[in-house]
Amino acid sequence: MCFTPAVSLSVAIIEWILATILLVFFKKTSLNKYFAWLIYVLGFYQFTEFMLCTSDNAFLWAKFGFITYTFLPAMVLHAVLRISRKNAKLFFIYLIPLAFSLIALVNPNFITGAKCTSVFVQVRLALIENPGPLQSSVSWIYMAYYFGFMAIALGLMIKDYLHQKNRIKRKIRIVAFIGTFMMLVPTLLLMVILPSLDAGFPSVLCGFALFFAIATFIIAYLETKLKKS
pLDDT surpasses 60 at 55: yes
Global pTM value: 0.82
| Among 173, 180, 228, CA closest to 31 | 173
Class of domain 5-228 as given by CATH: mainly alpha
Conformation bin of residue 202: beta by default, left when phi > 0, alpha when psi is -120 to 50 = alpha
Q: Percent of the chain scored above 90 by pLDDT?
A: 9
Tell me what pLDDT residue 74 has: 92
- Please tell me the distance from the alpha carbon of residue 154 to that of residue 194, in angstroms, as a whole number: 24
**Residue 2 banded pLDDT, cuts 50, 70, 90:** very low
Residues 2-14: what's their mean pLDDT?
74
Tell me what pLDDT residue 199 has: 46
**Residue 1 banded pLDDT, cuts 50, 70, 90:** very low
Residue ranges per domain, the chain?
5-228
Cβ-defined contacts of 137-141 (< 8 Å, 24+):
138/103, 141/96
> Residue 111 pairs with which residues in a beta bridge?
125
